[in-house]
A and B are shown apart, each in its own frame.
Chain A
Amino acid sequence: MVSLSQPPKSEIRNLAAIARPLLSVEDLRVELPVDGILHPAVDGVSFALEAGRALAVVGESGSGKTQLVRAILGLQPAGARLSGKVLFSGRDLSTLSDREWRAVRGREIGMVFQEPAAALDPVQTVGAQVVEAIRLHEPVSRAEARRRAVEALAEVAFPDPERALGEYPHRLSGGLRQRACLAIALAAGPKVLLADEPTASLDATVAMQILELLDRLRRERGLAVLLITHDLGVVAKHCDRVLVLYAGRVVEEGGTAALLRAPAHPYTRGLLRSIPVLVAAGRQRGERYEAIAGALEDLSARRRGGCAFAPRCPDRFEPCDASVPDLYPAGEGRSRCFLSREAPRRGA
């Protein structure tokens, strides 16, 4: 069986620029003030995203995924301190002025969020909002912008795009609102899409439609997708690579298939066992989850000297409290766990 997480080979060959990352993040750190003291919400995150690829950032509350997205878009909250680099096509975004940022957001990097109802302007028609997104970045005539808006709505499979131009958001279903948000996000032709839990507020069958749409946009226009999600089922079907965040750090990264089949980090393993999978034939109803004990501490209460997951970890041993583990090679990916440092030695 063909692995579902990889696009077919022929499609990869079509994307000439695949090797050069469109978006790369290097040692990004975002510190947030809590009662006047700065605490790292994102702590040294690095990754690269190429055209046509989908990278999943998986994490629960407090993992830092939201702050990571905001930092990539230059939208960090007041009082936050940033270090590290965000590079777009090799250009360092951290040096941009506010005005330069506005040109990047939307035009180079599009974004969609969890609540399409909150992202849309309730008193403007969908058409007016798509047209505005186009004209914000390109000096085209109103008529030309309108023609392009119809195209943008058609591209996200909006049924009857001509009519949709005149619709107000409240008249649309949740799934259509998210399609409208996608049309706006993609109107100016960005190469990268940041999608922050884009299907979390949608019903299951509608979520599937939106995710299939993102897959198609990756194939057809080489769109690079950074998908922030807590749903490993979505990751399995729609992403090439995965970063697992815990307490602001990448604890595991790798190709989707290998990582989900053989997770190396105890947190990833626990997370996979916590996912509600369908209890069908061969599985036992009423079977308990092998749940992870405890919960992640608040930002200001976290220990920084050792592994942040150690207090909840079933495999904790002495080194975990002494220092923060590096990302060690594990399988085809890397894992921030001393067990992965020990493993090759044991094998030798």
Chain B
Amino acid sequence: MSRKPALVVEPLLRAEGLAKRFSLVHGLLGARGAVLPALRGVTFEIARGQTLGLVGESGSGKTTAGRIVARLVRPDSGRILFDGTDWLALSGAALRRRRRELQVVFQDPQNSLNPSMRAGDQIAEPLRVQGLARGRALRERVGQLLADVGLGAETASRFPSDLSGGQRQRVAIARALATAPRLVVCDEPVSALDVSVGAQIVNLLLDLRERAGLSYLFISHDLAVVSRVADRIAVFYLGAIVEEGPALAISSRPLHPYTVALVAAAAEPDPSAPRRGAVLPGELPSAVNPPAGCHFHPRCPIARPRCRQEAPALSEAAAGHRVSCFYPGEVG
């Protein structure tokens, strides 16, 4: 499928001011009718053929952002331009038609695959639904997709329960690639896998990106994995992006004190490697009642009076490198 080259290099995807609040279920105690702002207006871009990594701890909003892009969750406000289309305005037949261009790979293939359906049929399903192939052509395409993800043709007749965790994730990736998408949202794609199997899957995703010219929105709690895959990284904290920039800059010259702590916590199996940074005190505070001022200040080693009163905006600290901190780069 050939497309007209764009005159202006516009990003493949631009998300603007995404915000989402979830109402909490009435509990036995407290939290009655409370509202959890999972996302507080985040903006990011994915360039064509590039990978944006979203990193942050549980509750940071990175997964909600990914689910909004994948049209699995509707934001309260915000806009997404995907390949020039107002992505959130699509519905009905138009959405079904365009869905093939944006696919998702989830954390746990055990849950994302249908347990009572053979692997080959699961990969064929999107092709059939979209009317992209049938009969012999369909079977050949499934065989090709299995080969692309490093599985033998015999896998087509297996059920998910006959497959290992790594094989299941390969099937899920083959299914995501079946419709030749331009963007794949990968939500913690290796977190449920053993280390040695996770490494194989990351390699596969890197190979596929090269071969198929894919873009990824790669979501993970593990900065080390993200730094291997992503061109740019956005660091999430309590529903907002606190730092965003080129992957190498984020991992070698982080500017936000929270990113500095994440870099310090990233696994380094070299016992002689220096321990970077101090251990961050406390935990991610409740998003229902976030701290005043900069949301990070209660855990921040360099918080000053201003940080307790004012919230810093996400602003450019270096070319293409945004950070929301009044004192960027002071912790290192």
Q: A residues within 8 Å of B by Cβ?
A: 1, 3-5, 60-61, 171, 173-176, 203-209, 212, 230-237, 256-257, 260-261, 270-281, 285-289, 291-293, 295
Interface contacts beyond A204-B266, A236-B271: sample of 12 additional A-B pairs, CB < 8 Å, sorted by A: A3-B272, A232-B269, A233-B266, A237-B271, A277-B266, A278-B268, A279-B227, A279-B228, A287-B228, A288-B207, A292-B196, A293-B200
Q: Out of B167, B227, B263, B268, name the residue touching A236 (CB < 8 Å).
A: B268
Beta-carbon contacts under 8 Å, B200-227 to A: 200, 202-203, 206-207, 221-225, 227
Distance, CA A46 to CA B46, complexed state (A): 52
Q: Out of A4, A60, A175, A235, name the residue touching B269 (CB < 8 Å).
A: A235
Interface size on B, residues (CB 8 A): 53
Interface bits B232-273 vs A (CB < 8 Å: 1, else 0): 000000000000000110011000000001111111111111
Measured between beta carbons, the chain A residues less than 8 angstroms from B164 are: 295
What are 29 pairs between A and B in contact, CB < 8 Å?
A4-B272, A174-B58, A204-B222, A204-B223, A205-B262, A205-B283, A209-B280, A232-B195, A232-B267, A236-B268, A261-B272, A270-B196, A274-B196, A274-B198, A275-B195, A275-B269, A276-B198, A276-B199, A277-B269, A278-B223, A278-B227, A279-B227, A281-B252, A289-B228, A291-B196, A291-B199, A292-B199, A295-B164, A295-B197
Instruction: Establish whether residues B280 and A208, one from each chain, have CB atoms under 8 Å apart when the complex forms.
Output: yes
Measured between beta carbons, the chain B residues less than 8 angstroms from A280 are: 227, 248, 251-252, 263
Measured between beta carbons, the chain A residues less than 8 angstroms from B272 are: 1, 3-4, 257, 261
B274 at interface by CB-CB < 8 Å: yes
Instruction: Establish whether residues A289 and B202, one from each chain, have CB atoms under 8 Å apart when the complex forms.
Output: yes
Given contacts A230-B195, A291-B200, contact A3 B271 (CB under 8 A): yes
Distance, CA A288 to CA B203, complexed state (A): 5
B contacts with A: majority SS? helix
Instruction: Establish whether residues A61 and B274, one from each chain, have CB atoms under 8 Å apart when the complex forms.
Output: no
Measured between beta carbons, the chain B residues less than 8 angstroms from A260 are: 269-271
Query: In the complex, what residue of chain A is closest to B201 when comparing beta carbons?
Result: A291
Instruction: Establish whether residues A204 and B199, one from each chain, have CB atoms under 8 Å apart when the complex forms.
Output: no
Distance, CA A278 to CA B274, complexed state (A): 14
Query: In the complex, what residue of chain B is closest to A267 when comparing beta carbons?
Result: B196
Query: In the complex, what residue of chain B is closest to A176 when comparing beta carbons?
Result: B283
Q: B residues within 8 Å of A by Cβ?
A: 29, 57-58, 164-167, 194-200, 202-203, 206-207, 221-225, 227-231, 247-248, 251-252, 261-275, 279-281, 283-284, 299
Measured between beta carbons, the chain A residues less than 8 angstroms from B279 are: 205, 208-209, 212
Measured between beta carbons, the chain B residues less than 8 angstroms from A231 are: 267
Q: Out of A61, A234, A276, A279, name the residue touching B165 (CB < 8 Å).
A: A61
Cβ of A245 to closest chain B Cβ, rounded Å: 13
Cβ of B111 to closest chain A Cβ, rounded Å: 17
Measured between beta carbons, the chain A residues less than 8 angstroms from B167 are: 295
Query: Top 9 A-B pairs ranked by shortest CB distance?
Result: A233-B267, A274-B199, A203-B57, A289-B199, A204-B265, A276-B224, A60-B194, A291-B199, A280-B252
Distance, CA A204 to CA B261, complexed state (A): 9
Given contacts A208-B279, A275-B195, contact A261 B229 (CB under 8 A): no
Query: In the complex, what residue of chain A is closest to B27 when comparing beta carbons?
Result: A170
- Specify which of A176, A208, A231, A293 lies most central, judged by the most chain B CB atoms within 10 Å of its CB: A208
Measured between beta carbons, the chain A residues less than 8 angstroms from B224 are: 275-279
